[in-house]
C-alpha cells in the first residue's frame, strides 16, 4: 500500500510521523482510494477532499475514546484506512466486505453509523450531553459537509448546541459542493467567506500572530477574537458566533499543520462549542475528480458491458421534460439529487421550474404542498430511502389536505452497493397506509411514463415508485395514456394459482410462470400496477376462482403489498383461499450486487418459481411433473 500507510494500524501510529512524512502518507492514501474506488465504485471525490483533514483529526483527537462522528459517512474511507481497516479496504462495498459508510458494527472507531445526511450534529450533541451527565471527559467532534449542513436536522442540532452551550466541536468541511454545487442562502454565506480576500488577509495575519504564541495563549487569543467580535465585524462569520459557537477558520483543509493547529485550539477550548471551518477541494489530488467533482462524487462499480437501454431515472426525466413542455403549471423539486434522478435535464430547459432545495426532503414535500394549494402541479423526485425523512410531511401536509402532489420515487427496492442505509425497502409499506394517497409501481419504463402522466392529471396525491436500474428495453408508446386508477392487468391466465406481482417483480413473475407451465402448473399472472387502491374486483374474482394467491414485491413483507392483498381477501370474506407472499424480510439488507441480493431473497424468476412450489406443497402433489421443476431449481 505504501511505506507509511503500511505502518498505520491504529490512529496512534500517526503521531510518530513528521509533517513531511504525513504528506507522503496523504499521497499513499490517495493512491489507495483511487485504485479501490475506481474498481469497486464509491464516493471518490468526497474522500479525496478530506485526506488531510482525517489525518489531522486522528492526530489531534484520540479515537475511539474521543468520538469522531462523520456526517453521511460517505467520506470516511481515509478514516477506515487509519483505524485498523486498511487490510480489508479492497473489500469496500463488496458482499461481506466493508460498508461504504460508517457503521457501529464495523468498528469501535465509528461511534455513529450513517448513510443519510445531516445527522452528525444531533448525534454528537447526544454523546456530549451523555458525557456531561456521566461526568466523563472525552471530546466529541461532528464532521459535516456544507451540503449536509443545509439539511434541517443539522440546523436543528446547531440550535440546541448553542442553547445548551455543550462542549463539542463541529468541523465544517466546506468544498462548495453537495453532489452538485451546494444551494441555498447558507451556501452563499459560506462562499462569501471562502472567496473574500479580506478574510484571507486577516487569516494570514492571525496565523502569523498565532504561530508566535505558546499553546495556552493561542486558546486565549481565539477566545479574545470572539469576545471582541473582530471577525464578525469584517466577515459574515457572526452567524456561528451568534449561535453560540467559537468560530475558527477558515482553515486550509489541505495543510495538515494548519488543520492540527485549529483542531487543537478547538479541543482545548473548554468553555463551549467550537466551529472549525475547513475549506477543502472536492476531488483533491486526482485531476479528473477535481475537474468534475459531480461525476466523481459517487461512482458505480466497473461494469463489463456498456448500457444502451435508458434507466428508469432517465425515462422519468424525459417524461417530466415532455410534460413540462405541455403543461406550464408543472414544476419539479429535488432535494440535492438533480444528477441522480436526472432532473438536471429538465432544469437545463426550465431553470425556473426545477427547484433543488438542498438535502431537505421534509421541506421539499411541504414546499410541494404549498405549490399545489395554488394550482401548480409539483413533481417531487426523491429516492425511496430519503423519502422516509418526509413521512409526516406526506401525511400531514399533503395527504390530509388531499393535495395533488406527484411523488416520483426513485430507487424503490434493492439498490445494491450502498447497502443497509440506502435500500428502498419500505416505501410501499409506509405509503400504502396513508389515506388519499395513490401508490403505483410500473412493470417497465413504458408504464412508468404513463403512470407519471396519470399522476400529473390526478386530483389526489399519487406516488410512482420505480427501481434503480436500466429499463427493460421495451418499446415506448408515442402518446401518453391515462391509466385507470386502481386497475390491474392480467398478463396470463391459468387455473392453478394467481401470481400477483407489482413493479419490478412483474417480469420475473411472468418468467417464473412460463417455467412452471413447463412443469404442468398453470398460473394466472397479474400486474397489480397499484399498491393502493388495489383492484379489488379482479383480485377477489381471481382468488375465488384459483384459490391460491401468491404475491411478489421488492419491498418488506411487513405492511407491504402482499399484506394489503391478504387483508383485502380477508375483509371480503373470501375464506377458502391460501395467500402466500414473498418480498424482503424484516431485516436491514446488506450491501452487494443487486442481482445477487435479489437472488438471495428469492426475488428473481428462479426464486419465485421455487417459492411457489415450496409455499404451495399441494401443487406438487397434484401435478407430478412439477416435481421435476422443483428438482431443476
Ligand atoms: C437525507 C439524505 N439525502 C440525500 C443524500 C444523498 N447524498 C449523499 S452525499 C450528498 C452530498 C453531501 O454533500 P456534503 O455534505 O457537502 O459532502 P461532500 O460529498 O461534498 O464532501 C448527498 C446529497 C443522503 N445521503 N441523505
pLDDT > 90: percent of the chain? 83
Does 496 have pLDDT greater than 60? yes
Model confidence at 142: pLDDT above 50: yes
DSSP 177: B
Q: Is the pLDDT of residue 196 over 80?
A: no
The pLDDT of residue 557 is: 98
Please tell me the distance from the alpha carbon of residue 387 to that of residue 390, in angstroms, as a whole number.
5
Ligand 1: nearest atom to the Cα of 297: 19
Is 630 a residue whose pLDDT tops 60?
no
Check residue 228 and give its pLDDT. Answer: 47
Give pLDDT, residue 189.
82
Helical H segments across 465-604, by residue range? 506-518, 536-546, 561-571, 594-600
pLDDT at 575: 79
What is the three-state SS of 101-160?
CCCCCCCCCCCCCCCCCCCHHHHHHHHHHHHHHHCCCCCEEEEEECCHHHCHHHHHHHHH
In angstroms, what is the span from residue 153 Cα to ligand 1's centroid?
13
Closest CA to 327 of 464, 455, 484, 442: 455
Cell of 510: 411472468
**Does 240 have pLDDT greater than 90?**
no
Q: Does the structure show a pLDDT above 50 at 550?
A: yes
Given pLDDT bands bounded at 50, 70 and 90, which one contains residue 426?
very high
Gap from CA of 390 to ligand 1 centroid (Å): 16
Report which of 465, 404, 394, 440 is spatially closest to residue 533, judged by C-alpha positions: 440
CA 435-441-442 angle, 5° bins: 150
Across 260-288, average pLDDT: 95
**Cα 201 to middle of ligand 1, angstroms:** 31
> What's the confidence (pLDDT) of residue 632?
44
- Residue 416, by phi and psi: left (phi above 0), alpha (psi -120 to 50) or beta? left
Task: Quickly tell me which residue has 484520540 as its cell.
Answer: 62
Question: By alpha-carbon position, which residue is closest to atom 23 of ligand 1?
Answer: 336
Tens digits of per-residue pLDDT, 567-589? 999 999 987 999 999 999 999 99
User: Is 247 exposed, middle or buried, given 0-12, 13-18 or 19+ CB atoms closer than 10 A?
Assistant: buried
State the average pLDDT over residues 180-190: 85
* CA–CA separation, 299 and 595 (whole Å): 18
Contact 336, 180 (CB under 8 A): yes
Whether 208 has a pLDDT exceeding 70, the answer reads no
Hey, whose CA ends up nearest to atom 19 of ligand 1? 46
Distance between CA atoms of residues 387 and 400, nearest Å:
17
Instruction: Please give the backbone phi and psi of residue 352, each rounded to the nearest 5 degrees, phi first.
Output: -85, -5
* Exposure of 413 in the CB half-sphere (CA atoms within 13 A): 26
Q: Is the per-residue pLDDT at 412 higher than 90?
A: yes
Give residues with Cβ within 8 angstroms of 212, minimum separation 6: none
> Each residue of 385-400: pLDDT tens digit?
999 999 999 999 999 9
pLDDT of residue 238: 79
30 Cα to the center of ligand 1, angstroms? 21
pLDDT at 494: 97
Residue whose cell numbers read 493512491? 31
Ligand 1 centroid vs 336 CA: distance in angstroms? 8
Residue 493 has pLDDT above 60, yes or no: yes
Residue 178: pLDDT band with limits 50, 70, 90: confident
**CB-CB contact of 389 with 361 (8 Å):** yes
Give the model's pLDDT for residue 201: 60
The alpha carbon of 356 and the centre of ligand 1 are apart by a number of angstroms equal to: 13
**Cα 6 to ligand 1 centroid, rounded to whole Å:** 30
- pLDDT > 70? residue 531: yes
Distance 335 CA to ligand 1 centre (A): 10
3-state secondary structure (DSSP) of residue 180: coil
Query: What is the percent of the chain where pLDDT is above 70?
Result: 90
- Using the predicted structure, report yes or no on whether residue 110 has a pLDDT greater than 60: yes
**Mean pLDDT value of segment 449-464:** 98
Q: Rounded to whole angstroms, how far apart are CA atoms 406 and 377?
A: 7
Task: Tell me: pLDDT of 442 over 50.
Answer: yes
Decide if pLDDT at 203 tops 80: no
Which residues have CB under 6 Å of ligand 1? 46, 49, 72, 74-75, 116-117, 145-148, 173, 175, 177-179, 282, 297, 336, 359, 361, 386, 389
Of 303 and 80, the one with more pLDDT: 80
594-608 average pLDDT score: 97
- pLDDT value of position 232: 45
Looking at residue 612, what is its pLDDT?
A: 97
Question: What does the longest C-alpha to C-alpha distance in the chain come to?
Answer: 90
State the pTM of this model: 0.92
Catalytic residue positions? 282, 361, 389
Judged against a pLDDT cut of 80, whether residue 556 lies above it is answered with yes
Residue nearest to atom 13 of ligand 1 (CA): 178
Output the pLDDT for position 221: 55
* pLDDT, average across residues 477-496: 98
| Nearest CA owner, ligand 1 atom 26 | 116
- Residue 625: exposure state from Cβ atoms within 10 A (0-12, 13-18, ≥19): exposed
Report the mean per-residue pLDDT for the chain.
Answer: 92
Task: Supply φ then ψ for residue 632, to 5 degrees.
Answer: -65, -25
Mean pLDDT, residues 399-423 taken together: 97
pLDDT at residue 215 greater than cutoff 90: no
Asked whether the predicted pLDDT for residue 123 surpasses 80, the reply is yes
Q: How far is the CA of 63 from the centre of ligand 1 (A)?
A: 24
Give the atom of ligand 1 at the shortest distance from the alpha carbon of 340. Answer: 6
The residue-averaged pLDDT of 617-631 equals 64
Query: Ligand 1: which of 37, 43, 48, 148 to mutate, most ligand atoms within 8 Å of CB?
Result: 148
Taking only the tens place, the pLDDT of each residue in 322-347 is 999 999 999 999 999 999 999 999 99
DSSP summary character for residue 13 = G
HSE-CB at 338 with a 13 A cutoff on CA atoms is 23
Number of the ligand 1 atom closest to the C-alpha atom of 43: 19
- Give the position, in ligand 1's atom list, of the atom nearest the Cα of 71: 15
Q: Best substitution site from 115, 117, 313 to test ligand 1's pocket, by max atoms within 8 Å of Cβ?
A: 117
Q: Regarding predicted confidence, which is higher, 218 or 499?
A: 499
Query: How does residue 186 score in pLDDT terms, banded at 50, 70 and 90?
Result: confident
Please enumerate in sequence order all residues whose Cβ is within 8 A of that of 43, keeping only pairs 6 or more positions apart, or say none: 37, 74, 75, 77, 100, 297, 298, 299
Which of 285-299, 303-317, 408-422, 486-500 shows the lowest per-residue confidence on average (mean pLDDT)? 303-317
How much is the pLDDT for 214?
63
Residue 477 — φ and ψ, nearest 5°?
-65, 150
Nearest CA residue ID for atom 21, ligand 1 = 46
Q: How far apart are CA 267 and CA 141, in angstroms?
A: 9
List pLDDT tens digits, range 36-67: 999 999 999 999 999 999 999 999 999 999 99
Nearest to 454 by CA among 530, 345, 553, 366: 530
Compute the chain's Rg from CA coordinates.
27
**Residue 230 pLDDT:** 46
Confidence band of 234 (pLDDT split at 50, 70, 90): very low
Report, as an integer, the average pLDDT of 473-479: 97
pLDDT band at 631 (very low <50, low <70, confident <90, very high): very low
> Is the pLDDT assigned to residue 4 strictly greater than 80?
yes
Pocket test for ligand 1, best of 44, 74, 170, 389 (most atoms within 8 A of CB): 74
* CA-proximal residue: ligand 1, atom 17 (nearest): 145
| Total H helices, total E strands in the chain | 27, 17
Centroid of ligand 1 to alpha carbon of 76 (angstroms): 13
Q: Is the Cβ–Cβ distance between 527 and 441 less than 8 Å?
A: no
User: Cβ distance 424 to 415 under 8 Å?
Assistant: yes
Amino acid at each position: 500500500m505504501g511505506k507509511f500507510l503500511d505502518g498505520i494500524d491504529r490512529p496512534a501510529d500517526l503521531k510518530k510521523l513528521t509533517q513531511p512524512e504525513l504528506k507522503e502518507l496523504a499521497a499513499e492514501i490517495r493512491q489507495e482510494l483511487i485504485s479501490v474506488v475506481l474498481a469497486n465504485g464509491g464516493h471518490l471525490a468526497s474522500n479525496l477532499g478530506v485526506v488531510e483533514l482525517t489525518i489531522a483529526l486522528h492526530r489531534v483527537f484520540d479515537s475511539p475514546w474521543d468520538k469522531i462522528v462523520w456526517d453521511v459517512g460517505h467520506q470516511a474511507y481515509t478514516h477506515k484506512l487509519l483505524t485498523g481497516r486498511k487490510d480489508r479496504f479492497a473489500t469496500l462495498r463488496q458482499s461481506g466486505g466493508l460498508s461504504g459508510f460508517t457503521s457501529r458494527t464495523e468498528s469501535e472507531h465509528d461511534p455513529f453509523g450513517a448513510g443519510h445526511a445531516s445527522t452528525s450534529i444531533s448525534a454528537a450533541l447526544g454523546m456530549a450531553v451523555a458525557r456531561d451527565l456521566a461526568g466523563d471527559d472525552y471530546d466529541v467532534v461532528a464532521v459535516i459537509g456544507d451540503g449536509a449542513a443545509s439539511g434541517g436536522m443539522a440546523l436543528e442540532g446547531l440550535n440546541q448546541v448553542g442553547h445548551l452551550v455543550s462542549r463539542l466541536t463541529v468541523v465544517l468541511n466546506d468544498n462548495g459542493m453537495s453532489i452538485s454545487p451546494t444551494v441555498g442562502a447558507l451556501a452563499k454565506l459560506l462562499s462569501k467567506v471562502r472567496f473574500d480576500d479580506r478574510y484571507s488577509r486577516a487569516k494570514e495575519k492571525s496565523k502569523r500572530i498565532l504561530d508566535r504564541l505558546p499553546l495556552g495563549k493561542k486558546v486565549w487569543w481565539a477566545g479574545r477574537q470572539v469576545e471582541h467580535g473582530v471577525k464578525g465585524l469584517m466577515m459574515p462569520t457572526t452567524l456561528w458566533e451568534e449561535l453560540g459557537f467559537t468560530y475558527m477558520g477558515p482553515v486550509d483543509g489541505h495543510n495538515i499543520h494548519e488543520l492540527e493547529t485549529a483542531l487543537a485550539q478547538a479541543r482545548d477550548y473548554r468553555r463551549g462549542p467550537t466551529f472549525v471551518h475547513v475549506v477543502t477541494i472536492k476531488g483533491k489530488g486526482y485531476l479528473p475528480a477535481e475537474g468534475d467533482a459531480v461525476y466523481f462524487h459517487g461512482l458505480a462499480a466497473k461494469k463489463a458491458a456498456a448500457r444502451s437501454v435508458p434507466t428508469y431515472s432517465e425515462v422519468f426525466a424525459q417524461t417530466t421534460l415532455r410534460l413540462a413542455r405541455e403543461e406550464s403549471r408543472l414544476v419539479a423539486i429535488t432535494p440535492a439529487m438533480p444528477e441522480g434522478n436526472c432532473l438536471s435535464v429538465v432544469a437545463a430547459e426550465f431553470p425556473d421550474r426545477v427547484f433543488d432545495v438542498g438535502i431537505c426532503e421534509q421541506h421539499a414535500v411541504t414546499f410541494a404542498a404549498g405549490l399545489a394549494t395554488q394550482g401548480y402541479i409539483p413533481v417531487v423526485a426523491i429516492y425511496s430511502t430519503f423519502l422516509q425523512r418526509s413521512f409526516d410531511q406526506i401525511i400531514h401536509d399533503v395527504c390530509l389536505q388531499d393535495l395533488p402532489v406527484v411523488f416520483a420515487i426513485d430507487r424503490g427496492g434493492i439498490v445494491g452497493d450502498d447497502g443497509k442505509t440506502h435500500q428502498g425497502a419500505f416505501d410501499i409499506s409506509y405509503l400504502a397506509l396513508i389515506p388519499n394517497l395513490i401508490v403505483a409501481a410500473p412493470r417497465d419504463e413504458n408504464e412508468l411514463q404513463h403512470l407519471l402522466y396519470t399522476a400529473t392529471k390526478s386530483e389526489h396525491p399519487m406516488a410512482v415508485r420505480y427501481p434503480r436500474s436500466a429499463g427493460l428495453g421495451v418499446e415506448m408508446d408515442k402518446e401518453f395514456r391515462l391509466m385507470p386508477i386502481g386497475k390491474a392487468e392480467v398478463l396470463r391466465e391459468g387455473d392453478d394459482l394467481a401470481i400477483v406481482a407489482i413493479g419490478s417483480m412483474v417480469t420475473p413473475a411472468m418468467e417464473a410462470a412460463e417455467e412452471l407451465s413447463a412443469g404442468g402448473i398453470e398460473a394466472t399472472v397479474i400486474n397489480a400496477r397499484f399498491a393502493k387502491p388495489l383492484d379489488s374486483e379482479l383480485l377477489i374474482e381471481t382468488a375465488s376462482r384459483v384459490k391460491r394467491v401468491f404475491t411478489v414485491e421488492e419491498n418488506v413483507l411487513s405492511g407491504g403489498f402482499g399484506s394489503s392483498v391478504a387483508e383485502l381477501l380477508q375483509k371480503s370474506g373470501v375464506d377458502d383461499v391460501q395467500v402466500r407472499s414473498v418480498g424482503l424480510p424484516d431485516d436491514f439488507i446488506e450491501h452487494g450486487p443487486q442481482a445477487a441480493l435479489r437472488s438471495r431473497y428469492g426475488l428473481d424468476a428462479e426464486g419465485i418459481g421455487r417459492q411457489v412450489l415450496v409455499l404451495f406443497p399441494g401443487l406438487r402433489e397434484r401435478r407430478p411433473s412439477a416435481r421435476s421443476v422443483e428438482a431443476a431449481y
